[in-house]
Structure 1
Amino acid sequence: MTVDQIEAQMKANALNFVGLGALVKFELGGGSTLFIDGRTTPPTISREGGTPDTTLTISPENLAKLADGKLAPTLAFMTGKLKVSGSMGIALKLANMLED
């Protein structure tokens, strides 16, 4: 799945991130990034954003699996497929939103 496809999928499911209350950056490698701005209603998904509260580093393939529910966020973190910097609380809140 390409970054464009992941972005489109996340935009289609943006309402899942209502209540996040933070800016989350996904670093996808190769200079590609996606942002979820959960400070707005409805949340916005874009390629540009400000200073994030939390940064998640993950491959596009694994992000697609997370978004599809085929990879549990906790498992991704524990196996090193997902790295978190910044607020772990926000990362956990996002994980719960992805698992629902």
Structure 2
Amino acid sequence: MGLTDLAAQIREGLNGKSFDGSLKFDCGDDGVIVLADGSASTDDRDTDCTIRLSQDNLVKLLGGKLNPMTGVMMGKLKVSGDMGVAMGLGKLLAR
């Protein structure tokens, strides 16, 4: 599954939910997914918060198989910028 497919899934998941700020999932050479303005895209831009992780770990994070706090502690994801935005993401991912 590519980042374009993941971005489409995130867009569906965001439908009807509000998200303050902007956030980027930076998967290095695989590309980025940017959450901003109530949608998700693969167009890179500056964001309030950046989460660096592998595409594999992004799939796990979005699928609920990787706890964000555990991921940070284990070094599987690195957060920079506005931590409040990252915390807001946790509420969006909750099922």
TM-score when normalising by structure 1: 0.82
Counterpart CA distance in 2 for 1:6 and 1:64 is 8
4+ residue runs over 3 A deviation: none
Match of 1:26 in 2: 25
Answer yes or no: is the 8 Å Cα contact 2:26–2:32 preserved in 1: yes
Deviation at 1:32, TM superposition (A): 0.4
Match of 1:82 in 2: 77
- Counting matched residue pairs gives 95
Taking only the aligned residue pairs, the percentage that are identical comes to 33
- The alignment yields a C-alpha RMSD, in angstroms, of 1.7
Gaps of 5+ in 1: none
Counterpart CA distance in 2 for 1:92 and 1:13 is 17
For the structure 1 residues 21 and 49, does the alpha-carbon distance in structure 2 shift closer, same or farther, using more than 3 Å as the test? farther
Counterpart CA distance in 1 for 2:3 and 2:82 is 24
Gaps of 5+ in 2: none
